[in-house]
Amino acid sequence: MMRMMMATPAAALIAKTASPLRRRPFVSALAASCTLMHAQQTPSLTTGRRSASTSASMQPATTTAATRADTDWLALRPSFKINASNVRVLHEPSDFFSTLLKGVAQAKRQITLASLYLGTGARERELIEALHLALSTRPELRVNILLDCMRGSRGENEKKSSRAMLLPLLERFGDRITLSLYHTPLLRSLKKKLIPAKFDETISVQHMKLYMWDDTILLSGANLSQDYFTNRQDRYMLFEDCPEVVGFFQKVSRVVEEHSYRVSSKNTLEARRFDPLACSIDEFGASMAAGMRAILAQAPQHSPAQRPASTEALVLPSIQLGCFGFKHDQAITSHILSSTPTDCAVWVASGYFNFPESYQQLVLGQSQGATKTEFKILTAAPLVSLLLLSTREEKRRLGECSV
């Protein structure tokens, strides 16, 4: 029986403007996800039915399942064969934080952290101190940090922003650490002035969650902030000793960095290939999409005859940037939703639940059609959505159960 796990990490599927996960084109962001297939039966998931899995959400989702032998997942590009024992799922926010600290402490060559933002609390300072120690004791180490510009600069006037937190590292270590802030070209001029800071990310954000050190990558939906380090549950998948997978996601991160501002040691924003606030939006989008297409074209692909052995897992990364017409992840997710085996169960885990019309039709078609697919959906309760909490007291009151 084939076991499959699909995770949408970095790019919490919130990153899809005019993309499959929204009923209307409203939010746009860069999305990156990963499907893991393992040729081994999973007793805990066995219910007398064969099963398949998918993820569909506005946030990264992780789901697990098994597919029939003749399913053509291997025709999807890219795909990487890895040792199945090198994959581990973390279970608690504290595990997420301790794994990050351990990775920073052990890194010898490179550390890459891509997130929506970095918080300003005590745990975040502990992470920065770990980065400072690593850079101080390993001269060959290089650090790249990618954040969303609007979220990463929020609170800058009060010196309580992600930028302010990281500035001492930039001043101390110069070119050995790079801080990039992605600013969507869709938010500029009058629109930028009129939309309140709390809602500017509804236009577009850098929403990838990629945490890499040397040949290890931690894919998650969690940001680098106190609540995600302590009591806000998310999904975390750790790939150790997987240089090809790390290399793929590093290339994805680099493309975004090339289209982002670089923060100088004087806390100024320096444009690279494009200035998002002044360039042609079409040229900006075409350049980003071309960069992503080039990454996919260079990545390996396996044929259905090259199925993984019982000790192997197959990793299928996907990328989405719907606002610029790049919908690789949408194609893969649609393929999975439309090709479930007969009499199977599909588990969908999502921080949000708002399928677009196209996904609704696929789910209804598979559940009511000849395959009789059973869909089981796990999502967060509306009461624990921080987007709905307007006061600090409400956030504190629900902090222990936030998802």
| Cβ 54 vs Cβ 348: under 8 Å | yes
Whether 209 is a known active-site residue: answer yes
Q: Locate tokens 């992605």: which residue?
A: 182
Give, to the nearest 10 degrees, the angle between helix 93-106 and helix 122-137: 20
Per-residue HEC secondary structure of 167-210 comes to HHHHHHHHHHEEEEEECCCCCCHHHHHHCCHHHHHHCCEECCCE
Burial class (CB in 10 A: 0-12, 13-18, 19+), 263: buried
CA distance 3 to 342: 16
Which helix (H) or strand (E) segment is 103 a member of? helix 93-106
Task: Exactly one of 183, 207, 327, 328 is catalytic; name it.
Answer: 207
- Known catalytic residue at 159: no
Q: Which of 95, 214, 215, 343 is catalytic?
A: 214
Q: Which amino acid is at 107?
A: A
Q: Which of 38, 209, 302, 327 is catalytic?
A: 209
Task: Give yes or no: 70 in active site.
Answer: no
Helix (H) or strand (E) holding 34: strand 29-38
Extract the runs of DSSP E, i.e. beta strands, from 226-275. Answer: 236-239, 261-263, 269-270
Tell me the catalytic residues: 207, 209, 214
